[in-house]
Chain A
Amino acid sequence: MAQRVVGVLLACACLATSASAASVAPRNPSDIVTLVPSGAPCPLPVAGDVVFDVRVLPDGTRTAFSLPHGKVLVVTGLEFTSKTRTESVAATLFYGNTALGDAFFTVGKGHAFGTDSIVFHDTAVPNLVVKTPLCFEQADGFLPQLPSTAVVHGFLASDR
């Protein structure tokens, strides 16, 4: 009998261990976030760069966003729209606390929309882990930057 109970305990311990070692993924729908910029500049600003500082909640309302203590943001998707003076617009995500460089690059091609050339671009982001403010920059090769809109999708996870 005692042997059987010990076996059950060991099995439970193994399962609990595997649970704690589960992959990096959102645990609850409330962990999943959609972020947009308010237009506020990045902490280390280049003219036109913006920080993702607004969370769009699942009920469609907005609230200010900053990373909760002990959490990281895992970015899984990015979209942006912009006018362009050339054929395409490049975009980057970068950590907002450093000027050392970019952490994700993509580019969207221009589409003729009436008399304008517009970029609409959506792409997956391969689990970019962010522990700082997250910034967005776009460029079509000319200054000043043209107005753009960006959205990032991802989830919050424990920082461990």
Chain B
Amino acid sequence: MRGAAVTACLITVVALEASAAVAPKRASDVITVITTTTACPFAGGGQLFDTVIRSDGTRAAFTIPTGSVFVVTGLEFISSSTAGQDVAGTLLYGNTGEDVFFTIGDVHDFGSSSVVHHDTAVPNLVVRTSLCFRTTSGQPSPPPFTGLVHGFLTRDR
């Protein structure tokens, strides 16, 4: 009788685990990653999300741990805007340059300069490689930018 109860509970635990939605399990799974100045490893411009901002405010080099994936849930970027134009942003897989998320920010007048500040949700983009960010405003060379993504690490299964 006791054995049956233990077995039932084990089955229940497995069922609960299998039914759990993809979500961060611990606060430490939730991460914020920023671009610095590392170029994407392919032509066409863009920068790698190469630095994690820890919850204590410190920074460290970022790579996805073996056996995990990075689930991106939010993106922000800031950019100066040439000729007062809006700036589009694209997330790309760092190993192939595949575009997987598009957005655009409106230009805002900030004193004597034109600046784009843009934030948007990302609907659970799963990343197993490096992740790149690229901007464009229709000009020959895109204006300087900083990109920031939010998300969480979870087991790759």
Contacts and interface: CB of A to CB of B under 8 A. Distances in A.
A85 B155 CA distance: 45
A27 B97 CA distance: 28
Contacts of A2: 1
B129 A25 contact: no
Given A20-B19, A58-B127, A29 B154 contact: yes
A151 B98 CA distance: 11
B129 A8 contact: no
A28 B12 contact: no
A124 to B, nearest CB: 6
Interface residues of A, number: 51
Given A27-B22, A34-B100, A113-B137, A153 B123 contact: yes
B157 A28 contact: yes
Interface string B24-66: 0000000000000000000000000000000000000000000
| Interface residues on chain B, size class | 35 or more
B88 interface: yes
A118 B138 contact: yes
Given A26-B22, A113-B85, A151 B157 contact: no
Given A22-B19, A114-B138, A8 B8 contact: yes
Given A5-B5, A76-B123, 11 more contacts: A8-B5, A8-B8, A16-B12, A23-B21, A29-B155, A32-B124, A60-B93, A60-B97, A62-B98, A77-B123, A115-B138
Interface of B: 1-2, 4-5, 8-9, 11-12, 15-16, 18-22, 69, 71, 85-86, 88, 93-104, 106, 120-129, 136-139, 154-157
